[in-house]
Amino acid sequence: MKAVNHTTISASGGPFFFFFFWLGRLIQKLCDRVASSTLLEDRRDAVRALKSLSKKYRMEVGTQAMDHLINILQTDRSDSEILGYALDTLYNVICNDEEEEQDENAQKQADDLSLQFTDTFIQDPEHVTLLLTLLEEFDFHVRWPGVKLLTALLKNQGPQIQGIILVSPMGVSRLMDLLADSREVIRNDGLLLLQQLTKGNAAIQKIVAFENAFERLLDIITEEGSSDGGIVVEDCLLLLLNLLKNNSSNQNFFKEGSYIQRMKPWFEVGDDNSGWSAQKVTNLHLMLQLVRVMVSPVNSPGATASCQKSMFQCGLLQQLCTILMATGVPADILTETINTVSEVIRGSQVNQDYFASVNAPSNPPRPAIVVLLMSMVNERQPFVLRCAVLYCFQCFLYKNQKGQGEIVATLLPSTIDANSISAGQLLCGGLFSADSLSNWCAAVALAHALQDNLTQKEQLLRVQLATSLGKPPVSLLQQCTNILSQGSKVQTRVGLLMLLCTWISNCPIAVTHFLHNQENVPFLTAQISENLGEDERLVQGLCALLLGICIYYNDNSLENYTKEKLKQLIEKRIGKENFVEKLGFITKHELYSRAAQKPQPVFPSPEQMLFDHEFTKLVKELEGVITKAVHKSSEEEKKEEEVKKTLEQHDNIVTQYKELIREQDAQLQELKEQVASMTSQNEQLQATITQQQSQIQQHKDQYNILKLKLGGCTSLSNSQGDGSQVNGLQTEELTQLREEVEELRKQHSLLQTQLSDKDALISSLVSIFFFLFFLSLCVLALLFWGLIPERCFKAVFILDFSYIISLPSPSSPSAAQAEVKNLSESRAELEKQLDSTTSTVAILQTEKEKLQTDVQESKKEQDDLLMLLADQDQKITSLKKRLKDLGETVENGFQLSPSENGCIEGAAVLRAGCSCP
């Protein structure tokens, strides 16, 4: 029995009335026990009983018990069991979890009941904050039902709950912690919760992304087996899509965090692609959508280009191309892969060049573009696959003039290879096949090869086709108009008319070739002027557009089909108002606005495949100018031509002035840069001067300290006047010291002379003594031998003794020795005095040399400073001159102070040479 039917059934009979009366009394008693019981066990049993009734009797339990259950959440925080029962009961009341199928009316009543109870719960935002607080509980019986309850609230009233969570302190962070829970059931339900939380709220999406969501989700995907994983991988991918879709900030964060590189392993499929599970197909489909979100054409061009570059550098594009050329890949995956590759290469020259070099693993190898075009023009292929191939070809040629030239070159006679199938041959084959869808796709693909490329439009005029044996070849342009005139299907004619309009627009040579065929203009006028059915209106509008292009881009080279004659023809055969009305049929078509929305061709059925996105831009651009061109008269045309010429001349003059202004701007910018450079140099020089000034001050301080140490002279300039002081020594004192030294030297020389005389005397006495001693020994020896008489010995001895007495020396040896001793002592004393004097002279000499050295160093430092100051002064003078030449006001920013001038003069005096002895 369904809860939603209780109210209706209650009035049908007595038993039901008494049952619901009893049920209401029972729930009321349980609520009273919850509210008034003092024992926790009683309250817990009552909440458990309410939980058992809540699934079947949602309305009754929710109406009477919700306030009591919320009160339990606030008051019984210490008991996890009663909290779990209360949360489960609230979840059963708020969420319609009926597994059995319900009719539409019953489902609507159940949903209304869920919204009613959700509104009741969130009337006080503190209830949601309370629920967020409970999610911090690690107990499984509290956390899991809390996650489910909050998810149900978000499903029912998402924007309101998002607003409450957004202003709740650490609200999003608490929910992000669920992804780190070790219990898989909580983590998985946390993913579902975050999916609901991030729907359509860019602010919450940014907060979730900056809470390290990308890292955690990619880790979970890897742990669960990437594309081979289960439903958890799908939930992670859905959450990633929520975070990245239409959120440029998160996309940039995803790219800057190098998360694109981590997507590459998702697409590493093996050689055996048979037996893909439904879950793997779903996962890979979502992964491809995730890649497309990063390079979607609706994103900013800069962000898309950056993501395309990253996908090529990390090998993701190469991996996608591998899937593209693999065998056994499911059709829907192959289709989505083609669409993904299309947007990865769209507008990126590097990626487009790589895609052009991809070959299919066939024998012989064929370019991937050729293989894809073969599928596009094959009517047996699925419709969505053919649309995907067309989109891929359009993206390959988008802003790719090199690729456009390569495609057109395969149609030119000089490059056609009869042994291989080229892209141009496939396009021509599809253009003229019996399948109208192939005609339309080939025409649109060829039009994209000519888009905004005047060179290729002119080159395509050279293409000649052999329609049948024995007949001369016709141009591709002529063959297209021939097929138009044969009255084929509407889809074929629309495709050919879009091709012709794209081809001849903004190409006067192509217009001339088209008008040169005498049958084309009558055919167009006949198509426009006829009153055809509803289906033919679009063809009439496109014919009017083609004829209008022939007028607007006509260079009047054909006399029969000048602009004026074509306008006269329209006025006579069709009527200007009728022509403009038929032209307006294009934009009024219901499929026009659908095609104008996005570049990818998405159509529910092949019959509705009529407009191309780029062609809608062309129509929007040309409709207004063609209308104006048709309404203008010949006089107005002439005036306009004159005005145009005048404007061209004016534009030329303006262009010249613009170039002149650009040159002057460039010169002015260069001069500004020079001024800025000179200003910076000047600032550097000023800083250098300031530094040098501080150095000079330091040297001055050092110099003053040196003067104090040496006895202190007041000014170096006074040293030249009287010469009274030199290096801190009085000249009179120095002269006195010199005289004393000279005296000591003379005394030393005298003492040395006396000592030498005494030494000579002692030496002579010693020699005489030894001679007499030797003579006495000889006489004693002769006396001993009896060779001389004794009287002779006496005579000799007396003679020797008298001779010794007669000497000026002491008369006895002891006296002589005393004399020698005295002389030696006197000599030693004199030597001591001499040594003392010599050491004093040496000390004075050392001090003199030291002082002379200090003076020389001071001289050298001051000379260097003078040189440096002179150089700086010269540089400043030259810079001032250059600034004056440039028109800048120059102030005298550097002048020497009087004290510095005195220092320089003193240094000059010192350098001039104050002599010291």
Sequence-separated (6 or more) residues with CB below 8 Å from residue 530: 536, 540
Q: Which amino acid is at 776?
A: S
Q: If pLDDT is split at 50, 70 and 90, which confidence band does 219 have? A: very high
Residue 457 falls within a domain, yes or no? yes
Mean pLDDT across 809-838 = 60
DSSP 630: H
3-state helix, strand, coil in the chain (%, to 5): 75, 0, 20
Structural contact between residues 479 and 432, judged by C-beta atoms closer than 8 angstroms: yes
In a domain, 401, yes or no: no
Burial string for 162-199 (b: 16+ CB within 10 Å, else e) reads bbbbeebeebbebbbebbebeeeebbbbbbbbbbbbbe
User: For 783-809, what is the mean pLDDT?
Assistant: 52
Per residue in 370-385, pLDDT (tens digit) is 999 999 999 999 999 9
Specify which residues 828 forms β-bridges with: none
The mean pLDDT value for 15-41 works out to: 75
199 vs 804, residue with greater confidence: 199
Range of the domain at 579: 408-632
Distance linking the first and last C-alpha atoms of the chain: 131
Task: Assess if residue 177 is contained within a domain.
Answer: yes
Would you state the structure tokens that stand for residue 661, as one six-digit string?
């202004």
Is the pLDDT score of 732 beyond 70? no
Is the model's pLDDT at 667 over the cut of 90? Answer: no
- The reported pLDDT for the residue numbered 850 is 78
Among 227-231, 353-357, 591-595, 863-867, the range with the most confident prediction by mean pLDDT is 353-357
More confident call, 348 vs 101: 348
CA distance 791 to 772: 18
What stretches of 380-435 show up as alpha helix (H) in DSSP? Answer: 383-397, 401-409, 423-431
Q: Which residues pair with 474 in a beta bridge?
A: 465
Cβ(441)–Cβ(378) under 8 Å? no
Burial 415-439 (b: 16+ CB within 10 A, else e): eeeeeebbbbbbbbebbbbebbbbb
Give the residue among 492, 488, 466, 489 at the shortest CA–CA distance from 479: 466
What one-character DSSP code corresponds to residue 718?
G
More confident call, 34 vs 779 = 34
Count the helices and strands in the chain (H runs, E runs). Answer: 41, 6
Kindly write down the DSSP assignment for every residue of 188-204, as one continuous string. Answer: HHHHHHHHHHTTT-HHH
Q: Is 729 helix (H, G, I), strand (E, B) or coil?
A: strand
- Is 316 domain-assigned? no
Average pLDDT over residues 466-483: 83
Question: Which residues, at least 6 apart from 584, have a Cβ–Cβ distance to it below 8 Å?
Answer: 541, 623
Which residues, other chains included, contact 230 with Cβ-Cβ below 8 Å and sequence gap of 6+?
A: 224, 279
pLDDT at 136: 87
Most confident of the following: 49-63, 235-249, 321-335, 894-908: 235-249
Calpha distance 151→95 (Å, rounded): 9
Say if residues 792 and 798 touch (Cβ distance below 8 Å). Answer: no
Choose between 750 and 153: higher pLDDT: 153
pLDDT band for position 412 (50/70/90)? Answer: confident
Which of 172, 188, 204 is the last residue before a domain boundary? 188
Specify whether the CB–CB gap between 560 and 541 falls below 8 A: no
869 found inside a domain:
no
Does residue 793 fall inside a structural domain?
no
Alpha-carbon gap, residue 186 to 175, rounded angstroms: 11
**Cβ–Cβ < 8 Å for 94, 117:** yes
Q: Say which CATH number the domain at 35 has.
A: 1.25.10.10
Alpha carbon 101 to chain centroid, angstroms: 54
Q: Which of 611, 632, 653 is the last residue of a domain?
A: 632
Residue 206: the pLDDT is 93
* Residue 304 domain-assigned (yes or no): no
Kindly give, in sequence order, each residue whose CB lies less than 8 Å from that of residue 516, ignoring residues fewer than 6 positions away.
558
Q: Is the pLDDT of residue 547 over 80?
A: yes
Top-confidence residue, 662 or 766: 662
Q: Which two tokens stand for residue 59?
A: 């309305």
Spell out the residues 6+ positions from residue 515 whose beta carbon is closer than 8 angstroms to its own.
521, 550, 554, 558, 561
Q: Are 23 and 30 in contact (CB under 8 A)?
A: no
Per the CB < 8 A criterion, the answer to whether 484 and 447 are in contact is no
Q: Which residue has the higher pLDDT, 729 or 457?
A: 457
Determine if the pTM surpasses 0.75. no
Q: Which residues contact 847 (CB under 8 A, 6 or more apart)?
A: none
719 pLDDT above the threshold of 50: no
Please check whether residue 767 lies inside any domain of the structure. Answer: no
Phi, psi of 506 (to 5 degrees): 60, 30
Q: For the chain, what is the mean pLDDT?
A: 81
Tokens at 546, concatenated: 């083609």
Identify which of 545, 528, 546, 535 has the alpha carbon closest to the alpha carbon of residue 590.
Answer: 535
| Residue closest to 72 by CA, chosen among 95, 45, 92 | 45
| Number of domains into which the chain is organized | 2
- Nearest residue to 830 (alpha-carbon basis) of 915, 761, 758, 750: 750
For residue 475, what are the β-bridge partners?
A: 464
Which pLDDT score, from 0 to 100, does residue 914 have? 36
In the chain, the amino acid numbered 393 is F
Q: What is the rounded CA–CA span in Å between residue 421 and residue 35?
A: 84
* Last residue within a domain, chosen from 599, 632, 665: 632
Q: Where are the beta strands (DSSP E) in 684-820?
A: 725-726, 729-730
- In this prediction, residues 716-725 reach a mean pLDDT of 41
The residues facing 172 across adjacent strands are none
Residue 3 has pLDDT above 50, yes or no: no
Among 42, 49, 81, 84, residue whose Cα is nearest residue 65: 49
Query: Looking at the predicted structure, is the pLDDT value of residue 648 above 80?
Result: no
